[in-house]
Structure 1
Amino acid sequence: MKVEGVTDAYVLPRDEGELQRLNLQYAYLKRLVTDGRVIYDKGVDITSEFRLLDSATGTGAWALDAAEQLPTSVEIHAADLSSNNFPPSPPSNVHFSLASVTNLPQDWTESFDFVNQRLLFGALLRKQWTEALSEIYRVLKPGGAVQFVEIDLYHPVPESPTVMHYCRVHEETFKKAGLFCDVGRNLHDLLLGYGFIGVKSEARHNPMGKMWGEIGMQGAKAFGGALRKAWSIFVKEGAVKTKEEYDKLMDRVEQEWDEQGTQYHCMIVTARKPFV
């Protein structure tokens, strides 16, 4: 099922293979970006009556992990535009809802202590980020906290030839499609503009390729898998003529990851809603 009447700009499929990739990606990001914690900001005081929202939850990996790490009295909500990848039997304190981040339920106003959201640079149009941030601000309680994770694909280290060529193609394609491809590096200022306080942005290294061993191969499988599945938008926007042409480009990108030990940055951005 999907929410009707909402623009769905998501560039990836919602099938069993994507469910598995998303869960692998979550484990990778948890290890490298949030240091094994569901809530990165150690200053967030979790009480027995805490209420959490996982915005654009996808497979519900973060919400399910939060249920394992936090007391059972904590109430966890998980919302997404599509229910295709919702788990069949979540814990009793985890509640899944069909809802768009651009139009969350009205009765959620000022009802959450914490909101988590990750990797929507390939899902929300630039104009939809305005609606999404406004909605997140609305549903947070005064003093509530937010956590965003977004990857920056445009400043890899090292800047090897094929990887940089792909960066340019990716950026041009996503901009043509109206997506906010570099939102990770802009979230700090965007949150300040919406009235959030205590905004902190940190870049964490995400290694790709065999040079980094097991973790690099996990990253390549998680993010390389995502990039490969996004082939249709590159054909649609004229970056390549066919899927085969795109696959050959990705072959060269992944070869360079293996040979160069490429690293990208994931931006983790935290903030609070003021009490007044």
Structure 2
Amino acid sequence: MGNKTSKTSKKSTPLPSTNTQEDSDFRYIEGRRYHNVENVKYPLPNDDEELDRLHQQHFLFRYVWQRNFAAPVKHILNQDGTKVLDVGCGAGSWIFEMASNYPNTQFTGLDISPIQPSEIKPKNVNFVISNVLNRLPFENDTFDYIFQRLLFLALPKDRWPDVINELTRVLKPGGYLELMEINPIPLQMGPVSSQLFIAVEKMLQLRDLDPQIPYKLRSYFEQQGNLENITEEKNRLPFGPETGKLGQAAVENARLGFVHLKTYLLEATKIISEEFDNNLDISAKELYEFGSYQDTYCVYARKGNY
């Protein structure tokens, strides 16, 4: 890994947890709870219903990829005092599972909202509330491995290079950066599904978010300048009947995503609520019957010893 930090210095005190909830951390729209961070584009709520969906989504992607990470860091994760950053950790599904699998590693989860469970978290996990669009509250060369997944709904189109630069700054030389993203617009859709996802595209456009980000990650890594051994892997999240329970789970995840985005999708399309609900039921059937799928990309790279 090229990490020249001594074993003694790696056993530093973990960063303190800052995820104590306060009323000012949230805002409420039509009974749903959302983040309350100014100028952040993320449209999904962060209440219990959405956290349940995020937990199920974690297991869905773990099954699709047959792993929790791709970068060649397993031997590092087994070393005492290794530091890992999970950016946009959300409900904490990935970080809790990883912390259980690698008890010698210190995991830090970063998110804009204090929605992570604090009473049951493993001893090797702490959470920091911060916005990745700002300077992160970490020194240069802090982490051995940085993981970020599914932030296409959070990061403005023109800010991706800035975020990758900032993540590289806090990554140790020899450490690995890994990002995984999905194209939110499925391929091979039926007519009603297509109309619903046109609404998704319009909502993303209004918020200056980029549905094409999976296809651009590699080029952003290449432009960064300090990342080497860049590797790109492609997979599919399938909805069709040939995939059995996986396809059913993918359809349910998409359906719940629509339900939780309903307020903003109605705003983008100007259709009435009853029509939206009816189209949602039809779309769920179409995704399954048409064998629709979504492209998902994983890109990882090593920070050079510069």
Do these two structures clear the TM 0.5 threshold for a shared fold by scoring above it? yes
Please say if 1:17 is aligned against 2:60: no
Larger Rg: 2
What residue in structure 1 maps to residue 61 of structure 2? 29
Cα distance in 2 for partners of 1:19, 1:4 equals 17
Q: What per-residue deviation string (whole Å, max 9, x for no partner) do you get for residues 85-109 of structure 1?
A: 4443211111111111122544332
Please say if 1:115 is aligned against 2:146: yes
Q: What per-residue deviation string (whole Å, max 9, x for no partner) do you get for residues 10-55 of structure 1?
A: 111111111111000000101112x13x321236641323110000
Please say if 1:245 is aligned against 2:267: no
The verdict on how the C-alpha distance between 1:162 and 1:241 changes in structure 2, with shifts beyond 3 A counting, is closer
Q: Which residue of the other structure, out of 55, 70, 95, is the alignment partner of 1:63?
A: 95
Q: Which residue of the other structure, out of 73, 85, 89, is the alignment partner of 1:53?
A: 85
Query: Number of residues paired by the alignment?
Result: 271
Deviation at 1:209, TM superposition (A): 5.0
The verdict on how the C-alpha distance between 1:226 and 1:5 changes in structure 2, with shifts beyond 3 A counting, is closer
Cα distance in 2 for partners of 1:190, 1:250 equals 35
Q: Which residue of the other structure, out of 194, 198, 201, is the alignment partner of 1:171?
A: 201
Identical counterparts, % of pairs: 24
Give the residue type in structure 2 aligned to 1:250: L
Please say if 1:186 is aligned against 2:216: yes
Tell whether the 8 Å contact from 2:99 to 2:124 is kept in structure 1 after alignment.
yes
Give the residue type in structure 1 aligned to 2:194: M
Cα distance in 2 for partners of 1:266, 1:274 equals 26
Deviation at 1:211, TM superposition (A): 5.0
Q: Which moved more, 1:205-214 or 1:12-21?
A: 205-214
What residue in structure 1 maps to residue 166 of structure 2? 135
Secondary structure of the residue aligned to 1:265 is strand
Cα distance in 2 for partners of 1:135, 1:129 equals 10
Please say if 1:199 is aligned against 2:230: yes
What residue in structure 2 maps to residue 124 of structure 1? 155
The verdict on how the C-alpha distance between 1:90 and 1:231 changes in structure 2, with shifts beyond 3 A counting, is same
What residue in structure 2 maps to residue 102 of structure 1? 133
Report 1:198-237 matches (<5 A): 198-237=229-268
Q: What per-residue deviation string (whole Å, max 9, x for no partner) do you get for residues 49-77 of structure 1?
A: 3110000100111111111111x221110
Cα distance in 2 for partners of 1:84, 1:243 equals 29
What residue in structure 1 maps to residue 11 of structure 2? none
Tell whether the 8 Å contact from 2:189 to 2:287 is kept in structure 1 after alignment.
no
Deviation at 1:222, TM superposition (A): 1.8
Secondary structure of the residue aligned to 1:245 is helix
Tell whether the 8 Å contact from 1:153 to 1:264 is kept in structure 2 after alignment.
yes
Give the residue type in structure 2 aligned to 1:183: I
Q: What per-residue deviation string (whole Å, max 9, x for no partner) do you get for residues 164-223 of structure 1?
A: 333433223311221122211111111111222222222211112555321111111223
Unaligned 5+ runs, structure 1: none
Q: What per-residue deviation string (whole Å, max 9, x for no partner) do you get for residues 204-250 of structure 1?
A: 1111255532111111122321122112222233x233333332332
Tell whether the 8 Å contact from 1:60 to 1:87 is kept in structure 2 after alignment.
no
The verdict on how the C-alpha distance between 1:86 and 1:128 changes in structure 2, with shifts beyond 3 A counting, is farther
Tell whether the 8 Å contact from 2:186 to 2:292 is kept in structure 1 after alignment.
no
What residue in structure 1 maps to residue 28 of structure 2? none
